Amino acid sequence: MDPPTTLRRPLHPDITNSLSGMSGHCCSDNNLHFICELKPGHTTGDEDFSLNMDCEPVSVILPAQCSVYQLRLRICMQVQAKKTHPDPLAILDPDKYSLLYARGDEWYEAYDECQVIGTLDIPWSHDDARCLSARIVVKPVEAVDSEENKKQQQCLAYLIGYSLEKDTSDRLGELMFTRRKLASPRRQELKRRDDKLYATEPWVSCTPLPAELQDWLNRKLPVTLHYMNKISFSIQTDLSATPNVLLKVFRRVMSDQRIEYDTSTNLVLKISGREEFLSEDHPISDFLWVRQCLKTNQDLHLSVVPMSQLAEETVKFMDWPLVDGFSGQFSSHDDLRLEGKDLDDIFMISLLDCNRKLRVKLLGFDIPKLPSKCPQSVSVEASILYGNKVLSTVSSLPKAFADEVLWNEWLEFDVLLRDLPRGAKLGFTINAVNASGGDSPVTADVQKGKAKVLYFVNLLLIDHRSVLRQGPYTLHMWSYLDLEEEAITYQADKLSSATNPDVADSMAISIFLDRYSFPVVLPNSFSPPECSDSPNSTLSRSESSASCYEPSFSSYSPCSTTPRTDYSSMYVKPQQGPSTDSVPLRSASTVIKSNKGSLKRFRQESIRYASNLPHFLRNVDWMNRRVVEDVHWLLGNWDAEELDVAVALELLSMDFADETVRRIAVKRLENLSNDDVLRYLLQLVQTLKVEPYHDSFLAQYLIQRALRSKRIGHFFFWYVRSEVAGCPYFRQRMAVILEAYLLGCGQAMINSFVQQVQAVEALQEVAILIKQIYPDKTDLPPTAPLRLQELLRTSKLPDEFLLPFDPRIKVGTILLEKCKVMASKKKPLWLEFSPMPSPTSVTPVGIIFKHGDDLRQDMLVIQTLVVMESIWQEKSLELNLVPYGCISTGYNIGMIEIVRNALTIAAVQRNHGGTTGAFRNDALYEWLKSKCPLQEIHYKTMERFVKSCAGYCVATYVLGIGDRHNDNIMITDQGNLFHIDFGHILGNRKHFLGVSRERVPFVLTPDFLYVMGRVKGRNSLCFQRFRDTCTQAYLSLRSHSRLLVTLFSLMLLTGIPELSAAEDMRYLREALQEEQSEAEAKEHFLQQISVCEQLGWTVQANWWIHLVAGIK
């Protein structure tokens, strides 16, 4: 990577006049004038790159439709003719010389050799001949400090878990192109980032204080302030006080006590023992830790820390120069069309001039080694894919399966080249053919992609630079695995355009696409920014695109005067109906046929039915370019803020591949708070797989939000890194996006991530060794803890690191004597760490480290619980859920938080009756009573139990969480009931000897009812409150059913076994009773409570069996 270089303006103002007339070409309306300064020889990073008066500037005039390469060629010719450069031909090599221009305070490179010069996002001005002119610097590519660059790449590769260097040798390949493109949003975000806010970002809640804490509003909160080792003192403060108020009190006390401290430095309040700050102007009642202290009756201890003592947040990585904002885009169809042009005037062909059908020549395939089980015959199926839609399909003749099969057969699609949408893929599958000549029989799993596919691969027909693919290609295919746990990801994997990196052993298919005399490019559908005499009038891509969605083919050249065409007469107002919720936008086909009304008027009316926008867009004919232009105009004039967040998230699903559709969805997300982004981040990372190209609006948005917030950045790192490790089909995409984030996250974050990765790798090595030493499923010898402690003692654990599932907690050395191997099939490790030094006593931090389990399903359920809790809090329902920390840190690797002061229900039952404790209805009540000696505390404990039990009853029913037994339901000393271990969801139940072990919709056992005073059917105040809370919580979720269904449907891309097909969403919709009225839905849930009461004995029986036999 080139180090950043500070350049002065390319030319002194007084030189412009002397350059007029330097070129022998005349200036016309279609020509552009470039004044090019050259800097011969090689420069160092410190050398001033001002005008070299010994090297005369070169004037070049070219038609606006010429490419950047032709600009290079003309500069080379001029330099060679003037003999002003020792090696003119070197200018043609972009690896040796860059073409740069200044815009504002930044310098940009004309990076793409095929880019039309008329689309350069360069400041234009008029010269004396009234020709549009611009200034360009021809700069030698600076040599990079190879040792420093090598260290940087090694660090990035270690953090990412994948090295991009070996895949980025092609400067115009998609990976390197994306690297350069993503530098712009990163630089933009870093320029506006507030380093202090970034370093001390608070964890706050936007919801009002829960009802159970409202009495604190009339009381004073005791707060203890600690300043280094010099002083500690307590004060009483209102919950409405801000951190600045507390700091003023601190300064006054320090002054009164005459204790010296550096008054010139900024101070910040840090929660003692945690990596969490109280900052900004929030009242302290909004801070999450303060609320936690109020709930648990903990004292609030704050450390006063000078900002100078915080870790440095500077960005030390070298970065690439910025590239032109319109790289990968071409001018309009009017500029590129062939009609009326001489051959000498043609530089490239517009795709819209290609009226022939797409065809591909299937040459054949070869495979180094045949699989052990292979069919007698195979055929090749070629399809045009757009998102998850198949636009056209053709198949080859079947042939006998061998290690090399030749076809030499043209396959023609019923699709014209001009109709290809950007992002369309050419997909190939090799399918088994049965003896009768047809495809092999379709299995019961055909809907999940498990029918007949042996190998598959995709090729983007229009590449990342908007150029149509031409000529021969050899594509290394992915094997379609027979193993059920692997094959279920096919629906997501088939969206990938990556080829198999295992070139030596993979199936390779050879094809040939029609060749043309010139590059065939997709014209830009956006209108250009208006020309201006001001050099700074040119808009950036994001600015111009936002205001240029006119449905026309107006010229993209800076000097274009082509009138705009109005195509707005194809849409009509949606039908009126009794309810806006039941009125869908009309499908595109219906709208086109009607050909009535005005698109603008339709836009005004359609806003009322924004919730039906996804339904409308699903019916658009994306192969009809006229329709697509109008849809783009409609979306461009639509205020994204009018969309509900659930609708925006739905538009990011695999149903929508159009860039403009996905862009308006991203635009809606731009104003989300950090809390909301975190709430949906798990799904947003998955939807990166839907994007046809590595560089997308969504990728740029996520990178910028991660760079803006350390909280978001922390989880973004682990979510993306987990995909790099576990998803080879999107590995390169996730790696290049993660690299773009790491290059700007700052040195403190880099150091923290290095420590976390070191800890995960060290624990992974230990976990693997333990599984090898103790291969038995459950039995462990008494020496297992000692063996684990020995391995941990010699491991390479760092001295301290942040917990990946909660960056507010930093742990120190491991407490060996408290670590153990858990008696489970995958041998999870129970680990405890010492807390970081603190002025107060802090309990050890416990985690469960798992190797061999996919924790993404648990992450999804816990994240959904957080979303549910936020929905309930909007309705002033505080149900005391315990969404404990859980994160996947790699392929089948992860860690889970140990909730302190909590026991499983099984442990409670064993303590009150041994194996028969499952049948003791009073066991749980007596245990809770023993924890609450005071009547007032006992009342609050009962209240917390009722609320949390109601919350989890509703949540587990809606999510269809199965395999509920007394070892995965826990309770805290304060009465919080909560569930763990979510291995079965969406109604998938566990069976024993072919019989379902669960006969109830959710867990509401007699011992739970006993705590509520519901004995032998007798009513009680607590039980009535439980019923009321359940129905309120259920109806609240039901009103947000679209959001919940969307969040789950976006996770189809993960390949989670019980969430791998659209049909899996059916349970969620049925549980939420979407088709029923509110009164019917309420009655439905009350019936589920009755069922649980009637069949509670079956749950007790299962729990007794679990206690006796240990069936899990």
Task: Give the model confidence (pLDDT) of 763-790 as tens digits.
Answer: 999 999 999 999 877 788 999 999 999 9
Burial of 308 (0-12, 13-18, 19+ CB in 10 A): exposed
Which ranges in the chain are annotated with CATH 1.10.1070.11? Answer: 902-1109
- Distance, CA of 389 to CA of 692 (rounded, Å): 13
What is the predicted pLDDT for the residue at 40? 60
What is the predicted pLDDT for the residue at 593? 40
The answer for residues whose C-beta is within 8 angstroms of residue 548's C-beta and 6 or more apart is 526, 527, 528, 529, 636
Which ranges in the chain are annotated with CATH 3.10.20.90? Answer: 13-143, 201-309
Say if residues 676 and 1043 touch (Cβ distance below 8 Å).
no
Q: Rounded to a whole number, what is the distance in angstroms from the first to the last CA of the chain?
A: 54
Considering only CA atoms, which of 268, 266, 290 is closest in space to residue 280?
A: 268
Model pLDDT for residues 862-902, shown as the tens digit of each residue: 999 999 999 999 999 999 999 999 999 999 999 999 999 99
CB hemisphere CA count around 1012 (13 angstroms) = 27
CATH code of the region 333-521 = 2.60.40.150
Q: Pairing between strand 471-476 and 425-433?
A: unpaired
Average pLDDT over the chain reads 84
- Low-confidence stretches of the chain (pLDDT < 70) are 1-29, 40-55, 144-145, 435-451, 482-492, 525-608, 990-997, 1109-1112
CA 943, distance to chain mean position in Å, is: 38
What is the predicted pLDDT for the residue at 578? 36
Read off the DSSP letter of residue 413. Answer: E
What is the predicted pLDDT for the residue at 24? 43
Fold of domain 902-1109: 1.10.1070
The answer for residues whose C-beta is within 8 angstroms of residue 218's C-beta and 6 or more apart is none
Q: Two tokens at 548?
A: 């240029």
CA 831, distance to chain mean position in Å, is: 30
Dihedral (Cα; 966, 918, 1007, 846), 10-degree rounding: -30
> Can you name the residues that pair with 849 across neighbouring β-strands?
829, 895
Distances (CA, A) of 9 to 6, 41, 91, 118, 537: 10, 20, 21, 21, 16
- Distance, CA of 757 to CA of 159 (rounded, Å): 7
Record the pTM.
0.89
Distances (CA, A) of 563 to 61, 185, 625: 25, 33, 19
Which ranges in the chain are annotated with CATH 2.60.40.150? Answer: 333-521
Model pLDDT for residues 172-209, shown as the tens digit of each residue: 999 999 999 999 999 999 999 998 999 999 999 988 89
Per CATH, domain 201-309 is 3.30.1280.10: no
CATH top-level class of 13-143: alpha beta
3-class secondary structure per residue, 845-872: EEEEEEECCCCHHHHHHHHHHHHHHHHH
